[in-house]
Amino acid sequence: MVLSLLMGKWGGMSQREVTLDELTDLCLRRGFVFPSGRIYGGLSGFFDYGPLGVELARNVLNDWWRWFVETRDDMYGIDGAIITHPRTWEASGHVESFIDYIVVCEKCGTEYRADHLLEDLGIKVPEYTAETLKRLIVEHNVRCPACGGRLSDPQRFNLMFSVEVGPRKSVTAYLRPETAQLIFTNFKNVVFSMGATLPFGIAQIGKAFRNEISPRNFLFRLREFTQMEIEYFVNPEKLDDCPRFGEVAGLEVNMLTAEDQERGIGEARKMTLGEAVEAGIVK
Ligand SMILES: [Zn+2]
């Protein structure tokens, strides 16, 4: 992965590309982040913010909150619990389908995320099902990269961290895998306590947790991470009548439409939000 670092704007230096490894190295040396549990060898997928990193992160979070919540009268903030009621995730479908597929080496026991293993070998995964993954592994004779051993059939693996609540382990709850569901479960609380009327939004900043099979790419795929999220609620009968739409109708964005993706186009198109609504891309 290569990132473009724009230094010319501030330092009079020329623009050059840096690799993710270089950026990682810089962040570690300068005290932005440290691998968590480093003195014990580290725990994959977890990072601690260092002295500079925590200041940078707080600035971003505070500015986001000020801009999207404090300066708007149609926005309400919440800060939900991290250990969450299991029924929340049954209702959302996460218990049933928030899964990845793993394959296990029958010789050395190493576990791999099946689609990552295939993609790393340059094999395209057209459909994320156990049958397709199994077929591709057999067709391409994919073996364990570590020892060359045979791989198991793909197995379902739920990405939620479960946690036993109470001394007698009577309730199995989950560390929330996203912040959105806490917003949905608090919708009525916000409406009744604050007298919120449509359209309005509920915002939340907080930690989310996913038991990634193969955390990687530095801070881009973690097992513990922070989300900044807004769910905005509108009257479905008045979708074309949002009083704030005029503020953003002229905003140009990169749009990768579902239709383009189905045609195999990976490049986003530039268009204004107004054009996207007019073309029926955003409904
Ligand atoms: Zn192996």
Instruction: Characterize the bridge pairing of strands 171-175 and 200-209.
Output: unpaired
Would you place residue 14 in the very low, low, confident or very high pLDDT band (cuts 50, 70, 90)? Answer: low
Ligand 1 centre from 211 Cα, in Å?
A: 21
Ligand 1 centre from 256 Cα, in Å?
A: 39
For the residues 236-259, what does the mean pLDDT come to? 87
Ligand 1 centre from 207 Cα, in Å?
A: 34
Tens-digit pLDDT profile for residues 39-82: 999 899 999 999 999 999 999 999 999 999 999 999 999 999 99
Strand partners, 202: 76, 231
For the residues 14-36, what does the mean pLDDT come to? 90
Q: Is residue 5 part of a domain?
A: no
Domain with 127 in it: what CATH number? 3.30.40.230
Q: Is residue 133 part of a domain?
A: yes
Domain count, the chain: 2
Ligand 1 centre from 109 Cα, in Å?
A: 6
Out of 158, 175, 191, pick the residue that ends a domain: 158
Q: Which of 224, 192, 197, 191 has its CA nearest to residue 208? A: 224
User: What whole-number distance in Å separates Cα of residue 202 and Cα of residue 183?
Assistant: 6
Q: Is residue 196 part of a domain?
A: no
In the chain, the percentage of residues whose pLDDT exceeds 90 is 74
User: What whole-number distance in Å separates Cα of residue 34 and Cα of residue 38?
Assistant: 7
Cα dihedral sign, 258-261-266-269:
negative
Residues with CB under 5 A from ligand 1 (ion): 105, 107-108, 110, 144, 146-147, 149
DSSP letters of the chain? Answer: -EEEE--HHHHSPPPEEEEHHHHHHHHHHTTSEEETTGGGT--TT-EEE-HHHHHHHHHHHHHHHIIIIIT-TTEEEE---SEE-HHHHHHTTHHHH-EEEEEEBTTT--EEEHHHHHHHTT----S-SHHHHHHHHHHTT---TTT---BPPPEEEE-PPEEEETTTT-EEEEE-S-SHHHHHHTHHHHHHHH---SSEEEEEEEEEE---SS-BTTTTB-SEEEEEEEEEE--GGGTT--TTHHHHTT-EEEE--HHHHHTT----EEEEHHHHHHTTS--
Ligand 1 centre from 215 Cα, in Å?
A: 19
Write out the two tokens for 242: 């949002």
Ligand 1 centre from 159 Cα, in Å?
A: 23
Q: Is residue 269 part of a domain?
A: yes
Q: Is residue 145 part of a domain?
A: yes
Residue 8 confidence (pLDDT): 44
Structural domain boundaries, residue 256: 244-283
Q: Is residue 250 part of a domain?
A: yes
Tens-digit pLDDT profile for residues 179-204: 999 999 999 999 999 999 999 999 99
Residue 60 confidence (pLDDT): 97
User: What whole-number distance in Å separates Cα of residue 108 and Cα of residue 117?
Assistant: 16
Out of 120, 142, 158, pick the residue that ends a domain: 158
Would you place residue 6 in the very low, low, confident or very high pLDDT band (cuts 50, 70, 90)? Answer: very low
Q: Is residue 278 part of a domain?
A: yes
Per-chain mean pLDDT for the chain? 91
In the chain, the percentage of residues whose pLDDT exceeds 70 is 95
Q: Is residue 58 part of a domain?
A: no
Ligand 1 centre from 164 Cα, in Å?
A: 32
Out of 158, 189, 204, pick the residue that ends a domain: 158
